[in-house]
Amino acid sequence: MVRFFSMLWKRKELIPLVTLMAAAASGATTVCIYFLTTKSDVIINKTSNPTPWENVDPNTPQKLMTINQKWQPVEELQILKGYNK
């Protein structure tokens, strides 16, 4: 670790590159943790629930940004869902 900082001190042109790479890595980690904890369509444990798509609320947007999304149930799927129950 000391060698890394001494190298940065000798080559100061690397400091912006190291800073940007650290910011990108921390941002990617933060976004991954955000999606794993808040989004219902991201599933880690598939063994506890064999049909996780049934729990997704169609009225809440699943994307980061949604523009003019309207959900309407498909009649054929509703009929098939009625047969399974």
Domain-wise residue ranges, the chain? 2-84
- pLDDT-based confidence at 39, cuts 50/70/90? confident
Buried b (16+ CB within 10 A) or exposed e, 33-44: eeeeeeeeeeee
Q: In Å, how far from its chain's centre is CA 13?
A: 34
Between 45 and 16, residue with greater pLDDT: 16
- pLDDT-based confidence at 85, cuts 50/70/90? low
Mean pLDDT computed over 62-77: 74
Residue 19 has pLDDT above 80, yes or no: yes
Q: How many other C-beta atoms are found inside a 10 Å radius of the C-beta of residue 48? A: 8
